[in-house]
Chains A and B, each alone.
Chain A
Amino acid sequence: MRSSKAFLTTTGAVAAIAAGVAFGSASAAAETIRIGDINSYTRLPAHTVPYRQGAILAIEEFNRSGGVLGRQLEFISHDDQGKPGEAVKVAERLFARDEVVLISGSLFSHVGLALTAYAKKSKRLYIAAEPLADALVWAQGNRYTFRLRPSTYMQAAMLAAEVAKVEKAKRWATIAPNYAYGKDAVAAFQRVLTELRPDVEFVGSQWPALFKIDAGAEVEALKRLEPDAIYNVTFGGDLAKFAREGKLRGLFEGRLMVGLLTGEPEYLDPLKDEAPEGWLVTGYPWYDIETPEHKVFVAAYQQRWDDYPRIGSVVGYNTMLAIKAMLERAGSTDTEKMVDAMEGLSFDAPTGPITFRAIDHQATMGAYVGWTALRDGKGVMVDWKYLDGVGYLPSDDEVRKLRGGQ
């Protein structure tokens, strides 16, 4: 129950901050720079709470070292209940009542897209942290929206590029939750892999309903397709059920298994000793990343929260780093100046240097790709490497086409 205790402490802390501000309104020191945070804290706490912890850690570090532009930062966090309409309302409240200078956060793609549209209309800065939808910076991209985490397309492209090297994997099957993210993830993977390896064949797709998987039936259906390799996009409880049934029913034997996001601690850890072995995945092997920046981050995080970081934690931390760098570059909290400062902004993060591309506002933060294994009764990633996002982004021409006239 470690995580639960840590969760309580966080909530307490944030509640105090949030409550003080929500009711005290403008009376709080005008000196502070307020950052509005919107995330699905009640709908998906397992993913969003680490994010908030990472962000708070960063804010506290900044404030200890004198703040930004000589002012303290304040992090005001609100729940969007996993509803886009609610998120837009919360954004309005943050700007109007809490007088934040920008908003950041969010995990669900649809929430992110709603905030993207809102940012465009209201001409306020929105830094999307985790939503994966490609459209966020491309088809729906606009001047006021930036995204940190590598998108669905980027992560799928990384996996596709890796598995293209595996000669024998010719017959592919896919399994993905039946909604936009799942479909985009499959489409991107198919597209990139087919370009690299015209000889592969996709023999079938399974589309279980999100969080309602009938794993036994899905596994049987996949077996019937007799693929050489399977590309998995399921996650959370669905992944747990799929991994267990697949193992029991011998689906994974002799097949190349590839999993999008499967290596992230949020998804891998609940599986404990039933974590799949030998899958090629994207994820976050925080335990083995030996760079000094990252070791410092992990130590600080563990000390502050009595818990280990998840992918959400490092994204939250990096987001705040980006905001700090941006504020320093802009020298102002004026929205237009902040947007200008965001474009082309480079900064160093525990995961390596990151740049927000001016052309599409997508950050070059990459992902860790490696193979899953069991260690001490727990799933981990081994033989991994960090792939910089730069190599997996659409070309400038493509971006211009995707973003249309914007």
Chain B
Amino acid sequence: MFLVASGLSIIFGVTRIVNFAHGSFYMLGAYIGYTLVQAIGSTAIGFWAAVLIAAVAVGAIGVVMEILLLRRIYRAPELFQLIATFGVILVIQDVALWVWGSEDLVGPQAPGLKGATSILGKPIPEYDLALIAISPLVLVGLWALFKLTRWGTLVRAATQDRQMVAALGVNQRWLFTGVLFLGSALAGLGGAVQIPKGGADLLMDFNILAVAFVVVVVGGMGSIFGAFWAAVLFGILQTFGIQILPNSTLVLMFLVMAVVLIFRPWGLLGMPETLGQAHPGPPEQPLRPALPRVRALGGAVTALLLALPIGHLVFPELVGVFTLVLVIEIMVFVLFAAALHFIMGPGGMVSFGHAAYFGGGAYAAALLVKFADAPFELAFWSAPVGAALLAFLFGWFCVRLSGVYFAMLTLAFAQIAWAFVFQDMPGSVLKTFGIADEFGTPLKITGGDDGLNDIWPSGWASTRIAYYYIAVGLSVAALWIMRRFLYAPFGYTLRAGRDSPLRAAAIGIDLTRHRWLAFTLSGAFTGLAGALFLFSKGSVFPTTLEIARSFDALLMVLLGGVQSLFGPIVGAAALTWLNDLFSVLSYWRFLLGVTIIALVLLLPQGIVGFAGTRLGRRLQLARPEEITA
């Protein structure tokens, strides 16, 4: 845990890249380590050599990613690298499946450390002792590397002030490459040393990623010692947590993170983010009324959307039922992405946990239908209201933080919300008050993993075409309303707070309250998307609140272009459509990953950045002065 987290921490500290592919490197470390251990690991020396080679190999892969991919997009807007690394995740997943097959690989035990030693009367596996020794060793090694070598000094300097190091004439490129090597190798090492404890499977990447982020954030971004102590803390919590509250395993970590962030917004040993480092890319263009061409395009798309069902009735061959289904789904995600962009773009608040409001809204409506027999019309509107209330509650804590810490706190709350429905906590709570079924089993309220099923719109809205008009009509209306909000003083105030918090305070703006209100509004719109999703699918599950769902939305916004109001719309439509197009093929993840990476490299401003290219200007999609790098 520490190894992986420290790698992530180092990469972030120096390059400010939130490396989602870190979990994949961990998984690769495990797979490569497994293969090598099978080949040469029968002796103790061979085993440890295999582990080290695996780490170095994964480090090399990290370097390849840096040189081929990340290096080209350092100048892109903040967090854009995140999508690139997401593409890498998808590619690595399919490559691993292709190379190592689908079966879980159970690692062999480490030679020489197969048994258990008795300590204080308890048998402790010898390999555990070895692991306990490795982490401090690595910690000391890293400490020496950073304190005693010139390279280490530069890395530390870069963590604190990048411009300064650049000004000193240090070749940043190689510094970053080196850091990516080290960070990735640590992830690979982490993956390889855990083979005898577990093995290698295809779900490792996401499983470790969330944990690593939590450890890094609790420890403080960029602080290796912080990561170490956080890892130790969680190790202890895990052990005692299991004994005291066997049911708490899922939330404990995120609860701790939320508490730490609320009281120590920069983690245990972290430092506040330096102001003025935020924007490496060119500043955003001022908001202008849409150009006639763009307006016409928007009108045409809306008209087309409205005409589609008629097309379906007249030419069923040309416009199939599934086209309508797909458009409904696209509109749901367009709305979701636009709602996220509402705070992320103009507000500068990057939420990693927006699925909480998507799923939260859907659950609010579903619960009302299930337990209060609410009619569709009422239940539907309870979704945005419920999501807004949830956002109002969580937002109060979140909006006080900024940057990555804001993102991680939103993630923590989303995970808590997820665990809440996943473990059916309302049911457990009722049980403690003696309310349970005849066998003493907790009542099913949220239904846990099995979700809430069979929730459909009422008669008049249940035909496909009627629901299509509901979905399209509400999404378009919501998008238009959000656009009004952003063009109104409120939206400007949000952007003011993002551009210069200092100036915003100096002209009397209470930024916290505005951000809080924006968060709540965004939650409401996200909840609306959740309601549309719920009633189009007929059921709701904890998967609507999970991390992957939050990341989907994030990806849509970034891929479309965070600097434009059209970005999230285009990004969501493109990603949903691509997903549908590819998912009928095997190895679709590989294809999708490659496509994402290609888009990132070709259009570093997002898809909508296309409008700013020469061709886009010739087509009069952007003003001549809106030149992008």
Contact = CB atoms under 8 A, between A and B. Distances in A.
| A/B contact in complex, CB under 8 angstroms | yes
Contacts of B543: 82-85, 110
B102 A49 contact: yes
A41 B202 CA distance: 12
B203 interface: yes
A86 B449 CA distance: 16
B116 A109 contact: no
Contacts of A28: none
B266 interface: no
Given A19-B584, A187-B441, A237-B198, A46 B103 contact: yes
A143 interface: no
A75 to B, nearest CB: 14
Contact of B201 (A86, A93, A236, A271): A236
A214 B238 contact: yes
A96 B448 contact: no
Interface in A121-175: 121, 133, 135, 140
Nearest to A97: B322
**Chain B binding surface, main DSSP class:** mixed
A187 B462 CA distance: 37
Interface in B104-153: 104-106, 109, 115-116, 122-125, 128
B261 to A, nearest CB: 21
A15 B321 CA distance: 24
Given A110-B449, A240-B198, A221 B125 contact: no
Contacts of B539: 84, 88, 113-114, 117-118
B397 interface: no
B412 to A, nearest CB: 16
Interface stretch (A2-10, A66-74, A319-327, A364-372): A2-10
B123 A180 contact: no
Interface stretch (B239-247, B281-289, B292-300, B554-562): B239-247
Contacts of B123: 248-250
A209 B199 contact: no
B544 A212 contact: no
Contact of B106 (A42, A109, A274): A274
A4 B449 contact: no
A299 interface: no
Interface in B58-113: 93, 97-106, 109
Nearest to A212: B207
Interface centre among B199, B247, B451, B586 (most CB of A within 10 A): B586
B67 to A, nearest CB: 29
A22 B321 CA distance: 15
Interface residues of A, number: 82
Contact of A88 (B116, B326, B423, B537): B537
Given A78-B583, A79-B588, A236-B201, A114 B102 contact: no
B246 A221 contact: yes
B100 A4 contact: yes
Interface in A223-277: 224, 236-237, 240-241, 244-245, 248-250, 269-272, 274
B320 interface: yes
Contact of A4 (B101, B203, B320, B580): B101
Contact of A96 (B100, B321, B541): B321
Contacts of B115: 248
B476 interface: no
Contacts of A211: 201, 203, 207
Given A96-B321, A216-B128, A250-B123, A78 B584 contact: yes
Contacts of A209: 249-250
Interface string B378-399: 0000000000000000000000
B128 A207 contact: no
A249 B586 CA distance: 42
B115 to A, nearest CB: 8
B588 A4 contact: no
Contacts of A1: 100-101
A88 B242 contact: no
Contact of A89 (B242, B249, B325): B325
B322 A206 contact: no
A110 B541 contact: yes
A237 B145 CA distance: 35
Given A1-B101, A109-B450, A240-B198, A271 B106 contact: yes
Contacts of B125: 216, 245, 248-249
Contact of A114 (B109, B198, B541, B588): B541
Contact of B423 (A19, A178, A237, A272): A178
A349 B189 CA distance: 48
Contacts of B462: 121
A42 B203 contact: no
A217 interface: yes
Contacts of A96: 320-322, 325
Interface in A261-295: 269-272, 274
Contact of B541 (A49, A84, A178, A221): A84
A244 B106 CA distance: 10
B456 interface: yes
A181 B424 CA distance: 13
Given A118-B538, A207-B249, A240 B199 contact: yes
Nearest to B422: A179
B538 A14 contact: no
A19 B106 contact: no
Contact of B537 (A85, A135, A204): A85
B538 A121 contact: yes
Contact of A15 (B128, B533, B580, B586): B586
Contacts of B320: 96-97
Contacts of B128: 216
Contact of A14 (B238, B322, B455, B586): B586
A272 B275 CA distance: 55
A93 B579 CA distance: 13
A28 B106 CA distance: 44
Contacts of B33: none
Contact of B450 (A78, A97, A113): A113
A135 B238 contact: no
Contacts of A135: 450, 453
A85 B453 CA distance: 12
A191 to B, nearest CB: 5
A217 B322 contact: no
Contacts of B580: 89, 93
B191 to A, nearest CB: 13
Interface centre among B101, B102, B450 (most CB of A within 10 A): B450
A78 B474 CA distance: 31
Interface string B566-601: 000000000000001001111111000000000000
Contacts of B460: none
B447 interface: yes
A329 interface: no
Interface centre among A15, A81, A237 (most CB of B within 10 A): A237
B106 A240 contact: yes
11 contacts: A8-B98, A42-B589, A84-B537, A85-B544, A121-B454, A179-B449, A209-B249, A220-B239, A240-B199, A245-B125, A249-B123
Given A82-B543, A84-B539, A214-B238, 7 more contacts: A4-B99, A18-B585, A78-B584, A88-B538, A116-B454, A179-B449, A271-B106
Interface of A: 1, 3-4, 7-8, 11-12, 14-15, 18-19, 22, 41-42, 45-46, 49, 78-79, 81-86, 88-90, 92-93, 96-97, 109-110, 113-114, 116-118, 120-121, 133, 135, 140, 178-181, 183, 187, 190-191, 204-209, 211-212, 214-218, 220-221, 224, 236-237, 240-241, 244-245, 248-250, 269-272, 274
Interface of B: 93, 97-106, 109, 115-116, 122-125, 128, 197-199, 201-203, 207, 211, 238-239, 242-243, 246-247, 249-250, 320-322, 325-326, 329, 422-423, 439, 441, 447-451, 453-456, 462, 533, 537-539, 541-544, 580, 583-589
Q: Which 9 A-B pairs have the closest CB atoms?
A: A4-B101, A45-B102, A180-B449, A96-B322, A179-B449, A11-B586, A96-B321, A180-B448, A117-B453
